[in-house]
Amino acid sequence: MNFELSDEQQLIQQTAREFTDGEIMPVAGENSENHFFDRELVNKIAGQGFLGAIVPREYGGAGLDYTTYAIICEEIGRGCSAMRTVVSVQTSLVCSTILKWGTEEQKQRYLPLLCSGEWLGCFGLTEPGTGSAAANQKTGAAEQDDGSWLINGAKMWISLGNNASLALIFAQTDPSLGHRGLACFLVETDQPGFIPAPITAKMGLWASDTAEIALDDVTASADSMLGEIGDGFKVAMSALDSGRYSVAAGCVGIARASLEESIAYANERTQFDRPIAGFQLVQAMIADMVVKTEAARLLVFKAGSVKDAGKPSTLETSIAKYYATEAAVWCSDKAIQVHGGAGYSREHPVERYYRDARVTTIYEGTSQIQQLIIGRAVTGQDALKPMTNETAEAAP
């Protein structure tokens, strides 16, 4: 096992780091304060090739491996989680899903537009009453005589929903079929029935575009389905498997940023005639930040290596997502503690890190869902499967 980055990976890491330092970090605080989704900055990110990092070059992407993609997400996540969210949604949830499930025509039409940043995409799975139980979609799709589909329903907490030109919309084609009736549609949003509205009353990710979307007789063409009827749940799970990976990598960036800010502040701040970095309990918090950050990165890299090998990676991705997101929350919380009263104010970025980190343990599968995925993998028992009389009698 080689822990050294290749020359190409080191170059991309340096490029992403310098870009984050020069373009993202100088405006991250102001954009957050103003609840401003910085489309110009998104275009700059796209110009670096970061929006299509794992998409093959033939479709307009950079053709990078997953480990290198994680490096990019970590660096951007270190600077601004709202911008890392753009990279995650565009690349992991939208592009990789089209790449895996789309027809050649769908790939040729949409991927170059998405990789270039000319179009943004969104992932319409979550509904007002449907979160972790992703199979229970209330949004419905009715097939028309010409083969097109008419979609009605609502989606909630949709990142990039207000700016997206393309939406992946999950809908139920036949409620009597349960999850076997689910389908995913590629919906172009420039039609009257697609009605997004901003969600602004959020604890964090103030510079991120978050929407609730009403779908009122939205039309999806006959050739807009990803896969077939009944594939919708599998499409969603494969997309989340990719999305969770980039969230985990971004959270390594949050943990690292929290650590770096804490080290700098602890060496500057003096109490009792010495820098607080010399106090044992401050060093203990910083030491634990180091350990959690390093461990999170290695778990992300392990998941990436499994993905790059083309093997099933759900378990490794869930482990990385669970650990890295919880580590980011822990490290950003302790960064506030190291900063003391100053950390509780907007004078320092650590309060933003904490607010932005907190949601990562919720979206794209809560920490509790990750625990159930991990538990199912190692025990063979599915805690989400309804218990029958037979299994209830056999249970201890």
Catalytic site residues? 364
The H or E element spanning position 389 is helix 389-394
Is residue 187 within 8 A of residue 167, CB to CB? The reply is yes
Q: How far is CA 297 from CA 204, 293, 302, 328, in A?
A: 23, 6, 9, 11
Phi then psi dihedrals of residue 217, to 5 deg: 55, 45
- Per-residue 3-state assignment (H helix, E strand, C coil) for 112-174: HHHHCCCCCEEEECCECCECCCCCCCCCEEEECCCCCEEEEEEEEEEECCCCCCEEEEEEECC
Helix-helix angle 350-358:25-33, to 10 degrees = 70
Tell me how far apart the alpha carbons of residues 212 and 161 are, in angstroms, rounded to a whole number. 7
Tell me how far apart the alpha carbons of residues 261 and 351 are, in angstroms, rounded to a whole number. 11
Tell me how far apart the alpha carbons of residues 278 and 263 are, in angstroms, rounded to a whole number. 11
Angle at 53 between CA 244 and CA 373, to 5 degrees: 15
Amino acid at 88: S
180 Cα distance to chain centroid: 26
Helix-helix angle 232-268:280-308, to 10 degrees = 150
